[in-house]
Amino acid sequence: MKKVLPENVKVIQVPCTGRIEILHLLKPFEEGADGVYVAGCQGDSCQYMEGISKASKRVAHVKKVLQEIDIDPERIEVFELSASRGGRFVDVAYEMTERLEALGPIL
């Protein structure tokens, strides 16, 4: 049976996770999201060499920013996935939504 994404996950497609900037990661929080995650390629198969590693560094930075303003840094995460394993894309969505449900709303 085909796996489907949780309904409360909004997917924003980007050409490469290296394009995601810090502000892109913060804006969802500003607009009320309980968490954000980046689902990118695996480090050793990045078409642009360092897309996912750039995204990982930016996510790490935003974790620090969130910590500074007393928001749990676990609310943002980065996952490295293989493009050929669509099932894992859905799995991380559930992993993240379960984590956020456990944390509860930010406010």
The smaller minimum CB distance to other proteins, of residues 15 and 105, is found at 105
Helices 22-30 and 51-68 cross at an angle (nearest 10°) of 40
| Count of Cβ atoms closer than 10 Å to residue 14 Cβ | 13
Alpha-helix residue ranges (DSSP H) falling in the chain: 22-30, 51-68, 86-103
Q: Which of residues 25-54 bind other proteins (CB under 8 A)?
A: 26-27, 29-30
103 binds other proteins (CB under 8 A): no
The smaller minimum CB distance to other proteins, of residues 16 and 65, is found at 65
Interface contacts to other proteins, rule CB under 8 A: 21-23, 26-27, 29-30, 65, 68-71, 106-107
